[in-house]
Structure 1
């Protein structure tokens, strides 16, 4: 069966539109540590497995996302293996209510990291916002919701880091920002996609109401040094 570009989104992004954000290679790549812990292998050779181990920081982890569970390379151990649901949208309705939002930039980096640390939408580091496309909502003098981009492959861009401060949930901010970011992706002639933990049924249902449909399931392996 021919593989799809979305079957290994981190690897295929680093091989194409995100090559400037990647380190390692040619058999194994990872994003710069200050951007993301995601990594991937170009093949399943023993050499590639050893190269993947070399990309694991001494006191940190790397993540691999693909249709099958990652074979644990020599010198590494699997800390966690979780299933995620990948969804794509051919059509997304425009936001149906007006919410004051702002374009986020380097000046907001500290608040973005703080919000992601509080809400845990997925791995988020000091320069994750370099993926671009970030928008947010401020209330009571602070950033309370945001969404942006992550993996970008030919024809597709991921909507990611959708999160809301617990004290401001129930106001529709997540849906509004998801539709906003996805609509901008579609306006460029690309297809938006996203990932949710398979156990996060509430998030999956919300995405379905926004126009996203199930495409496939992936396994995310969290690898550390043994």
Structure 2
């Protein structure tokens, strides 16, 4: 039996994030201004061809799923990677730090700049529409952040975890990951996240605060073939 997180993008767009979805029961994507993610429920010919029609020729889109990614003739993968999907099912350490503050749309440009510098994953100026983000500022400068992205029944993804290179090693990524995970758990949901399988340091951090491997995942960035 398939797990709801085996196709996290589809599961989110078909349920708690349906308001941000474009497409139909064959293929769906987030509004590209929010996050460039798309998915199908299954990999049959009709569905993957519907996915190709959903992605404009001038755009690219990320697909993440446990199954091998099947492409229609109209699309090609310009980038692929193996990810780990990790979940925290048991209570994690509660943290409190007066430096942690809720980020707002007024912080969006600085958040985007931090994400562009550290590359935690796709990030846009409208990322805050998907869930709350929290950060630490030092001398008025945003130096670390973490927040929520995809949401499925009973689950919320921890995302955008990053620290400015000048402040790495200070435990801010750990602090904010714990803070966001605890907030998700207080709502009765299970926090989960994705990391590149090659990012040993990040995986070790997440394991140290209570996350465990749930599944290996496949990721591809798709665009129309020439």
Tell me if TM exceeds 0.5.
yes
The corresponding residue for 1:64 is 63
Report the Cα offset of residue 162 of structure 1: 0.2
Aligned: 1:41 with 2:13: no
State whether residues 88 and 193 of structure 1, in contact with CA within 8 Å, keep that contact through their aligned partners in structure 2: yes
User: Would you say 1:126 and 2:125 are equivalent positions?
Assistant: yes
Shift, 1:128, TM fit:
1.4
Asked if 2 retains the 8 angstrom alpha-carbon contact of 1:196 and 1:204, the reply is: yes
Q: Which 5+ residue runs of structure 2 have no aligned equivalent?
A: none
Corresponding residue number in structure 2 for 1:157: 156
1:42-191 matches, within 5 Å, as: 42-90=41-89, 91-95=91-95, 98-191=97-190
Q: TM-score, normalised by structure 1?
A: 0.96
CA drift of 1:43 comes to 2.5
Aligned length: 224
Compute the TM-score of the two structures, normalised by the length of structure 2: 0.96
Match of 2:214 in 1: 215
RMSD of aligned Cα (Å): 1.1
The answer to whether the 8 A contact 2:6-2:67 is kept is no
**Separation in structure 1 between the aligned mates of residue 129 and residue 147 of structure 2, nearest angstrom:** 10
Structure 1: where are the runs of 5+ without partners? none
What's the offset of the Cα at 1:99? 4.7
Counterparts of 1:68 and 1:6, CA distance in 2: 11
Equivalent residues of 1:69, 1:220 under 8 A apart: no
SS of the equivalent of 2:109 reads helix
CA displacement, residues 30-86 of structure 1 (integer Å, 9 cap, x when unaligned) = 000011111111232322112101222322211111112211112111111211001
**1:120 Cα shift?**
0.5
